[in-house]
Amino acid sequence: MDCIFCKIVNKEIPAYILYEDAYSIAFLDINPSNKGHSLFIPKKHFERLSEMDNEYIRNFYGGFNKFLRLFEDRISKDYNIIANNGKKAGQAIFHAHIHIIPQYEDDGYKK
Ligand code: 5GP
Ligand code: ZN
């Protein structure tokens, strides 16, 4: 399958990886809205978040919480969490992912 995020999971293309476990991986967005803009994704290919099975849901969101703690320690305490699901919602990469966008100043919401 020609999926850029599967290629990142399989280390076929490089990414700056911040977190990894058996189910998930987090890495820096190549075109960040802010410094430290990260993506948290399941290692298995699901097109959208709602497609994940129960085993995945448990482990993915467990890992997500661990990653958020790491993100708060290393990148920023303040951030937005966004997930685009479907073309009309702005999803461009059809491998489920969550954006974590750090906010450094009280300068409003930068998507
Ligand atoms: P979407 O619009 O699908 O929610 O967001 C996809 C995100 O993936 C975008 O913010 C885009 O910058 C990021 N992205 C696309 N291709 C790559 C890539 O090859 N490497 C990394 N690190 N991020 C990517
Ligand atoms: Zn994929």
Helix (H) or strand (E) holding 109: none
Q: So what's the pLDDT on residue 84?
A: 97
Protein residue with its CA nearest to atom 18 in ligand 1: 30
- 47 within domain boundaries: yes
- 111 within domain boundaries: no
- 56 within domain boundaries: yes
Active site residue 97: yes
Q: So what's the pLDDT on residue 105?
A: 82
- 11 within domain boundaries: yes
Question: Is the pTM higher than 0.90?
Answer: yes
ipTM score above 0.95: yes
Indicate the pLDDT class of residue 111, thresholds 50, 70 and 90: low
Residue 4 tokens read as 């850029």
pLDDT digits (tens, 9 = 90+) for 56-102: 999 999 999 999 999 999 999 999 999 999 999 999 999 999 999 99
Ligand 1 lined by 79 (C-beta under 6 Å)? no
Across the chain, where does the E strand assignment appear?
17-20, 24-28, 38-42, 79-82, 98-102
- 108 within domain boundaries: no
pLDDT digits (tens, 9 = 90+) for 14-46: 999 999 999 999 999 999 999 999 999 999 999
Name the CA dihedral angle for 29, 31, 35, 37, rounded to a multiple of 10 degrees.
-30
- 37 within domain boundaries: yes
Ion ligand 2 neighbours, Cβ < 5 Å? 3, 5-6, 45, 95
- 110 within domain boundaries: no
Q: Which residues constitute the domain of residue 85?
A: 4-102
Mapped onto helix, strand or coil, the DSSP state of residue 41 is: strand
Closest CA relative to residue 64, chosen from 43, 47, 48: 43
pLDDT digits (tens, 9 = 90+) for 39-55: 999 999 999 999 999 99
**Number of domains comprising the chain:** 1
